[in-house]
């Protein structure tokens, strides 16, 4: 069993890490770092048998874990990742796991020098809707994929990370860019437009539209917002043999926020309801495509196998750095109104 400690218990630690560590085969939740009294009380209520520590340093000294997940605010992650690596622990870093491409590659080099596994938590590769589309692509149901349109609008102004170091591009942008690299392969060119708001913490990007040109000749079109009072997720794929569209309920997030856990009923977890199943259109007509299972805990199971076997984790630090390079290029494109080549 890979003993995993979680550093931070905000919405990431509470909703998107600890429940999926619990559900993952080969993993056990070994400790949680929390400081604020209210947060500690919440940890104790949610995980009464898991020890709570005031700092990563204290958790390392206790010797309770083999690996840690760092899910603290973005500006704090680098120092914590380096502390864990220096202690010889394997690390899963929440996205975005570095401020820029250069910083990401420095963390990658530090992990390799120490001989530990460093992975980036891109859990939305394991969304039900993306897994369903990926299966259609792998089964050649669409033929040559010409383009994919991905929209992830959330009615969540209170969740927008304010200030120049935050913003939506590094938040939801990290997810939708990684999903398209996972689905269509490396990116060679980026075009982007961004929208901004003035907040007390500073100018903050709150919406974006990105076009990615991929190495294989396909292109993807990504958009997201958090301040437009709309909550919709859509995927559209155009190929030489047909078209596919899905409008998802983001079922895993909805179930987690409703207080459910994947470990309670693993077989039924993560399937989109039938009214959210996508439609495939081709020469034979229209076909409703049943949902594949969404399983964020697959990330943790794959990470545990990577540590055991010495193989790459499900999302390597280098892959995470490439996603950050695309985000860096998107910001440059929006600023200069020009296409940025990678």
SS3 269: coil
Question: Does residue 141 sit in the same domain as residue 204?
Answer: yes
Question: Does residue 189 sit in the same domain as residue 265?
Answer: yes
> Does residue 59 form part of some domain?
yes
> Does residue 290 form part of some domain?
yes
Last residue of a domain, one of 88, 121, 154: 121
> Does residue 306 form part of some domain?
no
Domain span including residue 8: 2-121
Question: Does residue 162 sit in the same domain as residue 274?
Answer: yes
Question: Does residue 112 sit in the same domain as residue 176?
Answer: no
Tokens of 30: 């070994």
Last residue of a domain, one of 61, 88, 121: 121
Rounded Cα gap, residues 239 and 29, in angstroms: 43
- H or E stretch at 56: helix 56-62
Question: For 113-135, b where at least 16 C-beta lie within 10 A, e where not — what string?
Answer: ebebbbbbbbbbbbbbbbbbbbe
Question: Does residue 167 sit in the same domain as residue 147?
Answer: yes
Question: Does residue 115 sit in the same domain as residue 128?
Answer: no
HSE of 114 in the Cβ direction (CA atoms, 13 Å)?
A: 20
> Does residue 246 form part of some domain?
yes
Question: Does residue 96 sit in the same domain as residue 138?
Answer: no
Rounded Cα gap, residues 297 and 300, in angstroms: 5
DSSP state of 142: S
Sequence-distant (6+) residues with CB within 8 A of 136 are 142, 237, 244, 280, 289
Q: In 3D, which of 147, 151, 169 has the Cα closest to residue 160?
A: 169
Q: What pLDDT sits at residue 110?
A: 97
Residue 209's φ and ψ, nearest 5 degrees, are -130, 120
- Give the CATH number of the domain where residue 156 resides: 3.30.360.10
Contact 33, 8 (CB under 8 A): yes
> Does residue 313 form part of some domain?
no
Contact 342, 187 (CB under 8 A): yes
Q: What pLDDT sits at residue 89?
A: 98
Question: Does residue 116 sit in the same domain as residue 138?
Answer: no
Question: Does residue 82 sit in the same domain as residue 134?
Answer: no
The total number of structural domains in the chain stands at: 2
Question: Does residue 147 sit in the same domain as residue 82?
Answer: no
> Does residue 301 form part of some domain?
no
Question: Does residue 136 sit in the same domain as residue 18?
Answer: no
Last residue of a domain, one of 121, 144, 172: 121
Q: What pLDDT sits at residue 336?
A: 98
- Give the CATH number of the domain where residue 37 resides: 3.40.50.720
> Does residue 331 form part of some domain?
no
Question: Does residue 116 sit in the same domain as residue 7?
Answer: yes
> Does residue 309 form part of some domain?
no
Per-residue confidence of the chain (342 residues) as pLDDT tens digits?
999 999 999 999 999 999 999 999 999 999 999 999 999 999 999 999 999 999 999 999 999 999 999 999 888 899 999 999 999 999 999 988 888 899 999 999 999 999 999 999 999 999 999 999 999 999 999 999 999 999 999 998 988 989 888 899 999 999 999 999 999 999 999 999 999 999 999 999 999 999 999 999 999 999 999 999 999 999 999 999 999 999 999 999 999 999 999 999 999 999 999 999 999 999 999 999 999 999 999 999 999 999 999 999 999 999 999 999 999 999 999 999 999 999
């Amino acid at each position: 069993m890979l003993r995993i400690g979680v550093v931070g218990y905000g919405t990431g630690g509470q909703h998107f890490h600890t429940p999926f560590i619990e559900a993952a085969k080969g993993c056990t939740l070994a400790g949680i770092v929390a400081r604020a009294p209210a947060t500690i009380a919440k940890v104790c209520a949610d995980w009464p048998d898991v020890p709570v520590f005031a700092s990563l340093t204290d958790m390392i000294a206790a010797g309770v874990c083999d690996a840690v997940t760092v899910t603290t605010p973005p500006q704090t992650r680098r120092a914590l990742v380096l502390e864990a690596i220096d202690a010889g622990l394997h690390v899963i870093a929440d996205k975005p796991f570095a401020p820029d491409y250069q910083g990401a590659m420095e963390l990658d080099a530090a992990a390799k020098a120490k001989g530990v596994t460093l992975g980036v938590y891109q859990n939305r590769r394991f969304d039900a809707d993306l897994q369903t589309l990926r299966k259609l692509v792998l089964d050649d149901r669409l033929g040559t994929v010409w383009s994919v349109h991905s929209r992830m609008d959330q009615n969540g102004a209170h969740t927008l990370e304010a200030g120049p170091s935050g913003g939506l591009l590094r938040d939801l942008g990290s997810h939708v860019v990684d999903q398209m690299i996972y689905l269509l392969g490396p990116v060679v060119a980026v075009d982007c437009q961004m929208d901004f708001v003035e907040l007390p913490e500073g100018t903050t990007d709150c919406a974006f539209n990105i076009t990615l040109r991929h190495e294989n000749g396909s292109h993807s079109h990504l958009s997201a917002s958090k301040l437009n009072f709309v909550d919709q997720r859509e995927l559209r794929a155009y190929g030489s043999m047909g078209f596919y569209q899905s409008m998802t309920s983001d079922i895993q997030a909805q179930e987690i926020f409703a207080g459910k856990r994947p470990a309670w009923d693993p077989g039924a977890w993560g399937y989109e309801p039938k009214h959210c199943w996508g439609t495939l259109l081709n020469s034979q007509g229209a076909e409703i495509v049943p949902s594949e299972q969404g399983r964020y805990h697959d990330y943790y199971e794959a990470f545990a196998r990577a540590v055991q076997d010495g193989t790459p984790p499900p999302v390597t630090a280098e892959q995470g750095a490439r996603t950050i390079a695309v985000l860096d290029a998107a910001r440059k494109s929006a600023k200069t109104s020009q296409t940025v080549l990678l």
